[in-house]
Amino acid sequence: MSDFNIDKRIEMSEQLENIPMNISHIKVMLISGISFFTDAYDLFVIGIILIILKPIFSLSTFQLGMLASAALFGAVIGPLIFGIIGDKIGRKSAYWITMLILIIGALGSATAFNFTSLFLWRLLLGIGIGGDYPLSSTIVAEYANKKDRGKLIASTFAMQGFGIIAGIGLAFLLLLTNVPVGIMWRVLLAAGAVPSLLIIYARTKLSETPFYNIFKGKMGEASSTITELKYGKLQAKSSAETAVSHRAISFSEFLKRRWQVVLGTSLSWFLMDISYYGTSIFTPYLTTLIGFKGIFAPTLASTLILLFSAVPGYWLAVALIDKEGRKPMQSIGFFVMGLAFIILALFGKSLLNSNQLLFFIIYGITFLFTNYGPNTTTYIYPVELYPTNLRARGHGIAALSGKLGAAISTLFFPLLIDFMGESGLMLLLGIIAFIGLIITLLFLPETKQKSLLETSKEMELVIVGEILYKEFEEMVAHIKKVSKLLDNEMHNPALYKSTFKKIKAEEHSADLVVRRVMYYLTTVKSNTILYTDISHLIARLDDIIDIIEAVAARMSIYNVLPTSNMQKFSLTIKRSTKIVGDGIEFLNLLLQHRAEVAEVANLYKQVSIQENKGDDILRDSLAEIMKFKDAKKIIKYKEIYDMLEAVTDKCVDVMDVISDITLRYQSPK
């Protein structure tokens, strides 16, 4: 039996998520945000560097795409690897590894001497960038309160805007100070290591997230961190506290039950990044196509576009995310993006000839609403929709999908421009945005200002296993005990009074178990199907005990002598309740993928055999009591026999519910 306490987990999670936002929340956000600033700087500064390196390294169009996408292909690998590591060893420990990779990758890139060496260093850098995505977001989410979680995660993500501007701004500064371009590109790449170096100490002072410690059963350490968070004083700590063992949902089980989450978070991010990264990284390149020549003019144009459209979009999202909600903002963002891209596809060329300012306003709107909507919300959604043991991994899967879209986009963007032209490319991006809108509307729920336990349905997904593991086994223990007591009573009338008291005590304890189960179901706001499954199962088990208690009460009150048929009934009940216990154990094993679905049919067959025996015994018993001449005696015995037969019927009912749960919750083999 598990020592894991669901009540305690719910209590501590609620305590954590109701702490008003304070300096500690902001500190966690800034630590994570600065690393995300670095990620964005490293990813987007390459757009400027490519303009410089094209003549130096004699880069072809394809090589331009390869260098632009190298870090993004690395970022495809990083999220899943470090998402899994973050779920296995903790968010804080995995965070250190990504930081070292970011520093080494940035400095290594600055020493590159040709296309190949730069590509490999950027690929390594991208692994660190990708690994930082799930960890930064998960850390902030698992420290945040439910009221402000959206703005805290969005603020972390909004540091991306400063990272983009920092890259363009630094390039602009180097140009103004006449730094030779042969040195300039190396300085730009090496500068990516600076923010990571600056936050090393801050990361050492950050504790493991309370949510992760709660999940791991380190309640003492989690409680200490929650207390410190409440009073705005976070300090790193180590603990020899022994974690409490408990059950967690597997990814395959999560995928079966909530495949919409996996599809919705991954596909919407994939589609969004196809648009965003292509246009962002190649904005300097695009400006050269419309008349901006050299390095200075495209850099200035890119700076103005991003400064007045992209950055405001990030902070507009921060301001509104916990008011408007994730789903409306993502939907609106995709819609306006799609509309703006289609307008540019249809009228862009004429606008460039007649009104370039209007062209850039519409082009800027795509950045504004991307960051107001899906660029921010796709970063927030995964950490809110996956349970704790899969949270970093789930975000990693979504980020992997996004970075795959970004890598594909940046790799083929120059080729698509050559092949389709600017108008054709804009039309394609518009269509992609509208597909993103459809995915959002179909598969993603609203999560604003809700507990992570509720949005991730973590307790709902775990509760079947936890309750079956603990509460239902306790119910089975009560059932087996009362059936044994009943059998003893049937062989010794002298035990009537004492046996009834013992059975009554077991029945009372079982009622407490039922109340706990129903409390869990209502507390975690479980869905209708889960509520029906669990409530029906616990009710049928409770019926068995209630009926046996009623039989014992009648035997004691009526003071009837047990018959051979009553003894046969008690033996049948003992066998039936044993099968019920086997059924509960079967469900436990099934949820751990250690049992085959077909086994439930065998258990159902066994309990049906006992139920049929009960029917036969009832018929024989009724024929026997009809020979009595005393009508009162007939009524008394008939009532007891009917109740005994009802126990075997309830055991069949339990197996019916177990069969339903088996079909509903078992992943296909």
Alpha helices in 191-310 (DSSP H): 194-198, 200-204, 210-216, 219-230, 251-257, 259-281, 283-289, 296-305
Q: What average pLDDT score do residues 113-134 get?
A: 94
Mean pLDDT of 258-274: 94
Neighbours of 282 (CB within 10 A): 23
The answer on pLDDT for 289 being more than 60 is: no
What confidence tier does 421 reach under pLDDT thresholds 50, 70, 90? confident
Cα 601 to Cα 634: distance, rounded to the nearest angstrom? 38
Banded model confidence at residue 640, pLDDT cuts 50, 70, 90: very high
Residue 610 has pLDDT above 70, yes or no: yes
* Whether the predicted pLDDT of 138 surpasses 80: yes
Give the other-Cβ count within 10 Å of 414's Cβ: 20
pTM value is 0.77
> Which amino acid is present at 74?
G
Rounded mean pLDDT of 43-64? 86
Assess whether pLDDT exceeds 60 at residue 668.
no
Q: Once rounded to an integer, what is the mean pLDDT over residues 450-464?
A: 78
pLDDT at 246: 56
Phi, psi (5° rounding) for residue 290? -115, 20
How do the residues of the chain divide into helix, strand and coil, expressed in percent and rounded to 5? 85, 0, 15
Percentage of the chain lying above the pLDDT 70 cut? 89
At residue 239, the pLDDT reads 58
Mean pLDDT of 510-536: 79
- 490 contacts: CB under 8 Å, gap ≥ 6: 562, 566, 567, 569, 570
pLDDT at 201: 77
Model pLDDT, residue 4? 47
Task: State percent of the chain over pLDDT 90.
Answer: 52
Chain region(s) in the chain for CATH 1.20.58.220: 459-665
**Topology of domain 459-665, per CATH?**
Methane Monooxygenase Hydroxylase; Chain G, domain 1 (1.20.58)
The DSSP line for 131-186 is HHHHHHHHHHHHHS-TTTHHHHHHHHHHHHHHHHHHHHHHHHHHHHTT--HHHHHH
Give mean pLDDT, residues 638-653: 96
C-alpha radius of gyration, the chain, whole number: 32
* Cβ pair 411, 69 in contact under 8 A: yes
Tens-place pLDDT, residues 201-238: 777 778 899 999 988 888 888 999 999 888 877 666 65
Predicted confidence band at 593 (pLDDT cuts at 50, 70, 90)?
low
Q: Is residue 666's pLDDT more than 70?
A: no
Sequence ranges of the chain with CATH classification 1.20.1250.20: 6-233+250-456
The CATH number of 6-233+250-456 is: 1.20.1250.20
| Other residues' Cβ atoms within 10 Å of the Cβ of residue 205 | 11
pLDDT number for residue 563: 92
d(CA 435, CA 514): 47
More confident: 405 or 296: 405
